[in-house]
Amino acid sequence: MNKISIVVPCYNEEASIPIFYKVIEETLKSMKIDYELIFIDDGSKDKTLEILKNIKDKHVKYISFSRNFGKEAAIYAGLNECSGDFVATMDVDLQDPPSLIPIMYETLKKEDFDCIGTRRVTRKGEPKIRSFFARMFYKIINKISNVEMVDGARDFRLMTRQMVDSILSLKEYNRYSKGIFSFVGFKTKWLEYENIERVAGETKWSFFKLFIYAIEGIVAFSNFPLIISIIFSTLSFVSSIILLIIMIINGFKELLVILSILLFIFSLLFLILGIIGVYVGKIILEVRKRPIYVVRESNLR
């Protein structure tokens, strides 16, 4: 009999876990398949771990981190520890409808796919500017990166063991999973659904956090920002020649204009330095080879 593993990252989710567990358990039971639920307590400060420990069910495993390592690390830990032939990753706040799992499973078994992904077609219930920047982000990253990132793709997906193993073979520290999923390739079928608001608790993503996350995605999967410096230096070289010609014709009196242009060029320089700095910072993180997560407690072994 096939086994399905459900990987669920949880950060301060005491309110959502009981509701989620009830729904997912019913769903999985109705599927007549062996299953395990792997909850990752990502250094929660509330009763998340206590609640997980109190679920008396041999299908339920938990891994509790020593601190908050982030959702990407939590997903990685779950994929690393799960043993299913099919593996799903999903949020605990019921924004990823468990009712889709049987459909995903059937599709994956029947059709020639390696992964069933989900994407939301609306961004209902989300602030307008956030949606705007999200759309911009996907436009930009798909232009400057070789891997395709699907707009609105969620981390809710069901994969074959083969795909999970190839994801695990990417050992990088900076884990931008949307990029990693695309990088490994395989055949993905997309199911679409409307945005659902979380059942309890609140989102852990501030606009600032999302902004940083977007930069991480770009840095992890594109070298284009590094090429920008070459473009800028060419542009500034050409314009300095033009300026020189203008000044030779008009006399050297436009001091203020020159000053402002100088300042502009310097600001570009600093921007480029900053971009290089971000990449160098990432290199240091990779070179150190620190663990992606540290476990404090678990009922896995």
Instruction: Label the pairing between strands 115-120 and 153-160.
Output: antiparallel
Q: Quick one: which of 93, 160, 183, 293 contacts ligand UDP (CB under 6 A)?
A: 93
Q: 208: burial class by Cβ within 10 Å (0-12, 13-18, 19+)?
A: exposed
Candidates 8-16, 115-123, 245-253, 292-300: pick the segment binding ligand UDP (CB under 6 A). 8-16
Identify which of residues 42 and 93 has a Cβ nearer to Mg ion in the complex.
Answer: 93
Q: Of 27 and 229, which has the nearer Cβ to ligand UDP?
A: 27
Our finding on whether 93 is near Mg ion (CB under 5 A) is: yes
Closest CA to 5 of 120, 113, 165, 119: 165
Question: What residues are paired with 6 via a beta bridge?
Answer: 37, 88
Per rule CB under 5 A, is residue 13 in the interface with Mg ion? no
Widest pairwise Cα distance in the chain: 86
Query: Residue from 42, 61, 219, 220 that binds ligand UDP (CB under 6 A)?
Result: 42
CA-wise closest residue to 79 among 162, 1, 191, 198? 162
Q: Is 74 in the site for ligand UDP (CB under 6 A)?
A: yes
User: Is residue 2 left, alpha or beta, with left meaning phi > 0 and alpha meaning psi from -120 to 50?
Assistant: beta
For ligand UDP, the binding residue among 7, 13, 35, 100 (CB under 6 A) is 13
63 binds ligand UDP (CB under 6 A): no
**Sequence-ordered alpha helix ranges (H) in the chain:** 17-30, 48-54, 71-81, 100-110, 128-144, 161-168, 177-184, 207-221, 224-250, 255-288
78 binding ligand UDP? (CB under 6 A):
no
d(CA 11, CA 6): 16
* Residue 123, helix vs strand vs coil: coil
Neighbours of 8 (CB within 10 A): 26
Report the amino acid identity of residue 226.
L
* Residue number, 76 or 113, with CB nearest to ligand UDP: 76
Q: Is 152 in the site for ligand UDP (CB under 6 A)?
A: no
User: Rule CB under 6 A: is residue 10 a binding residue for ligand UDP?
Assistant: yes
Candidate list 48, 95, 118, 182; residue touching Mg ion; CB under 5 A: 95
* 96 touching Mg ion, by CB under 5 A: no
Q: Taking CB within 5 to 8 Å according to partner kind, which of Mg ion, ligand UDP, none is near residue 92?
A: ligand UDP
Please select the residue that binds Mg ion; options are 3, 161, 189, 198, rule is CB under 5 A: 198
Could you say which of 2, 168, 205, 238 contacts ligand UDP (CB under 6 A)? 205
Q: Which of 115, 174, 292, 50 is nearest to 10 (CA)?
A: 50
Please identify, among the stretches 61-69, 70-78, 94-102, 154-162, the one whose residues bind Mg ion according to the rule CB under 5 A: 94-102
Task: Give yes or no for residue 177 binding ligand UDP (CB under 6 A).
Answer: no
- How far apart (Å, rounded) are the C-alpha atoms in residues 56 and 6? 17
Stretch that binds ligand UDP, among 63-71, 224-232, 245-253, 284-292 (CB under 6 A): 63-71
Binds 9: which of Mg ion, ligand UDP, none (CB < 5-8 Å by kind): ligand UDP
Name the residues that contact ligand UDP, by CB under 6 A: 9-11, 13, 42, 68, 70-71, 74, 91-93, 95, 198, 203-205
